[in-house]
Amino acid sequence: MTLLVLVIMSSTSITVAEHHRRSSNDTDLAALLAFKAQLSDPHGVLGDGWRDNVSFCHWIGVSCSRRRQRVTALVLPDTLLDGSITPHLGNLSFLTVLSHTNTSLTGSIPAELGRLARLRYLDLRRNTLSGSIPSTMGNLTRLQSLIFDRNHLSGKIPSELQNLQNLVHLSLQGNYLSGSIPDLIFNGSSSVLTFINLGNNSLSGPIPSVISSLSMLQVLVLQFNQLSGSLPPTIFNMSRLEELYSAGNNLTGPITFPAGNQSFICPMIRTLGIGGNRFTGRIPPGLTACRKLETLGLCLNLLSGDVPEWLADLSELNFLYLCENELTGSIPAVLSNLTMLTELDLSFCLNVISLSNNQLSGPIPDSIVLMENLQYSSLHGNIMFGPVPTQIGTLQSIVVLYLDDNKFSGSIPNGVGNLTTLQDLRLSYNLLSSSIPASLVNLSNLLRLYISHNNLTGALPSDLSPWRAIAEMGISANNLVGSLPTSWGHLQLLSYLNLSQNTFNDLIPDSFKGLVNLETLDLSHNNLLGGIPKYFANLTFLTSLNLSFNNLQGQIPSGGVFSNITLQSLMGNPRLCGVPRLGFPACLEKSHSTRTKHLLKIVLPAIIAAFGAIVVFLYLLIGKKMKNPDITASFDIADAICHRLVSYQEIVRATENFNEDNLLGVAIKILNMQVERALRSFDAECHVLRMARHRNLIKILNTCSNLDFRALLLQFMPNGNLESYLHSESRPCVGSFLKRMEIMLDVSMAMEYLHHEHHEVVLHCDLKPTNVLFDEEMTAHVADFGIAKMLLGDDNSAVSASMPGTIGYMAPERPLMRKASRKSDVFSFGIMLLEVFTGKRPTDPMFIGGLTLRLWVSQSFPDNLIDVADEHLLQDEETRLCFDYQNISSTSRSNSFLTLIFELGLLCSSESPEQRIAMNDVVSKLKGIKKDYSASMLEMQRPRQY
């Protein structure tokens, strides 16, 4: 009997344990299902990976303990989930890892997560989470990593984080956190913190000196906040600190180091970035103790005095950045000790000396030109004098050399021609004399050359063909003479050319017609003779032409750049005729010419009507074929597009030699067929372009070709381009926030199609407002896509960066990496997005001395964006009312539409290509912003009851 009872009791015990286990498993299952129910899961990851007939321990992203079968990890990185975090996750009592990075999560962080007592790793970076950081995070006493980077979190950092005694990694950067940094979260020597990142928030107040008691700390990031006061000297006593970033704050006073044994001062520090503050005094001599220092950034402060000679003792120094201070004196010759510079990856991977915009005087020490690894050197904007050292040809790695705006004299050394890696040379605004050395033309990688405002004499080199890659050339305000070379046609990537204020004579050479990418040409204040070439009107991108004060004569051409030319661009040529609106007399016309024009008025409409009839016929024929698939006659629209339906002579006659006034409803793009490989690639490019069919891309209607001529007949856009609407005096069509957002959404969808939906990757390579055109309904269409491929070929969805793009919109990696990718198009889109909502071109004169459009916006992000937003945008009544309503009805800045837009623009235009998002993600984010904005407008208009 006793034995029976024992058996029964044992059996009962097993049953209770089994029941408890199953009950716990049910709790975990319920939590996971509640998590799934809160998410839209647009890609079906959870729908496919979390099936009912499979144990949840085998679901994607879920890990369980072996013995209890309880959930220990929930990890779903880079998975589009699109929804909020359910509080039920707080019931996963055995959870040790929770990681949802870059998953489009929204809403707040549930306070219930504070119940996860076993949690060691919590990572919710790169989402759109809002609200404050719950104080219950302080309950996670076993937590080792807390990462909330790049969300929309606001409010103060909770002091309860002081309870996290095991915390090793704390990263809250890129949010909207405010208030002071609480002393309590740094609990002295007992802390095991090795990494703190509080950068890119809105934190204020002083830097707590108690931070220096964190004996294990290796990385401290406090940059781009509103911190004030001084930099605590005791920070330099931290024995393990390797990286300190506090740039972009309001820190003041001198930079001081603690007294005492120098061997205890910053023994491990490698990176010190404290630029963009208001530090005063001299460059601190205490830095001499930082023997392992590799990066020193002191730019944009109020530091004064001489450049110290002891900098040469920092033998590990890779990157030296001292620009925009109040430094004086000459550059010490002992800086030659820095010849051991090694590469530092800061987007351009340059070895840099930047001392621009100070008051440095004296000559360039010969020793500096012995730095064989130097890639970037900027002495721009000082008062240095003397000759450019003849040994400059030893800088075998130099890519960028800025010596402009000084008082250098003498000749340009012949050794410059040995700098085969040089891409950007600027010597303007000096006192240089003698002739241009012939060796300068040897620089086949040169992209930009500025030698204007000197005393250079002689003629230009006769053979410019080695400069095939050059994009910008400024040679104005010198004493150059002679005829212009006949070799300009080789410079087909040239977009900016200024030869003004010299003494060039003779005719404008015909070779200028080969400058197919030219946008700006200034030939003013010379002695040029003859007529104005008519082909100037056919240069597709030419928008700025200055021919004033020469000896030009005859008919002023029409069309193209001449349609909007001003008197200031033609004055000083008294023998010109033909534009009465500018005050020039009418030209004497032959009767034959008059009859021809009358005839064209009759013939031209007939040709246009015939072409329209062909298009209508093709449209009806295709529609009939689709409705009657059993019709036996075959027809290929591709053949109709890529075979010649309109002859060259018809186009010439119909348009009066491509006079823009006669292009009715059809746009024509002429392609110069002397461009290398263009003949071979035209048909292939035609195939790429005609197969690119999207409502936001310009359509190709037809082509015309012969042995030396290729033309694309494009869909005509009657409402101009985005550039004119953004920067003209009257811009009613793009005034509102909603309209601008819709335009950029149209552009992003076109780019998404080219990057991700076309049968092969098509890169644009020159995305900018002039390439965004509007149809009758003001719908945006992207133009000029794929042209870079046609001219230069493609290489597995990357094109050669010798196609330079446009200054301001070109990704920073392109000049050096010599490749363009989808991410470089994303950069251009990001800059254009910032331009659309600030109203500022990236080339605005205000952006000098290292200030860029992106930096200007980021300095105001997120609290002061109203200061950088376009004033015309804020004057729009609908936009202003919606913004005012939002400020009243919302308690969270996460709903700030300006913030969301500028955040996207900054993300797309990140310096590093890896940090930029793909175009399909851009489309998704813009659609979300538009949806929320439209909902806000509807809510604002809905009647309310009080």
Q: Mind telling me the catalytic residues?
A: 766
> Going by C-beta distance under 8 Å and a sequence separation of 6 or more, which residues neighbour residue 523?
499, 500, 504, 508, 546, 547, 550
Burial grade of 442 (CB within 10 A; 0-12, 13-18, 19 or more): middle
CA–CA distance, 382 with 516 (Å, rounded to integer)? 37
Q: Which DSSP state fits 142?
A: T
CA–CA distance, 285 with 262 (Å, rounded to integer)? 11
CA–CA distance, 551 with 562 (Å, rounded to integer)? 18
> How many Cβ atoms from other residues are within 10 Å of residue 814's Cβ?
24
Provide the angle, in degrees to the nearest 10, between the axes of the packed helices 822-838 and 737-752. Answer: 170
> How many Cβ atoms from other residues are within 10 Å of residue 55's Cβ?
12
CA–CA distance, 287 with 205 (Å, rounded to integer)? 26
Structure tokens given for 711? 């033309």
Structure tokens given for 526? 């010379």
The answer to whether the beta carbons of residues 832 and 770 sit under 8 Å apart is no
Phi, psi (rounded to 5 degrees) for 288: -60, -20
CA–CA distance, 297 with 552 (Å, rounded to integer)? 53
DSSP 491-552: -TT--EEE--SSEEEEEPPGGGGG-TT--EEE--SSEEEEPPPGGGGG-TT--EEE--SSEE
Q: CA end-to-end span of the chain, whole Å?
A: 78
Phi, psi (rounded to 5 degrees) for 506: 75, -170
Nearest to 522 by CA among 491, 561, 490: 561
The answer to whether the beta carbons of residues 758 and 785 sit under 8 Å apart is no
Which CA distances in Å does 460 have to 316, 485, 747?
43, 7, 42
CA–CA distance, 352 with 370 (Å, rounded to integer)? 14
If phi > 0 it is left, if psi is from -120 to 50 it is alpha, else beta; for residue 764 that is alpha
Nearest to 295 by CA among 320, 325, 274, 276: 320
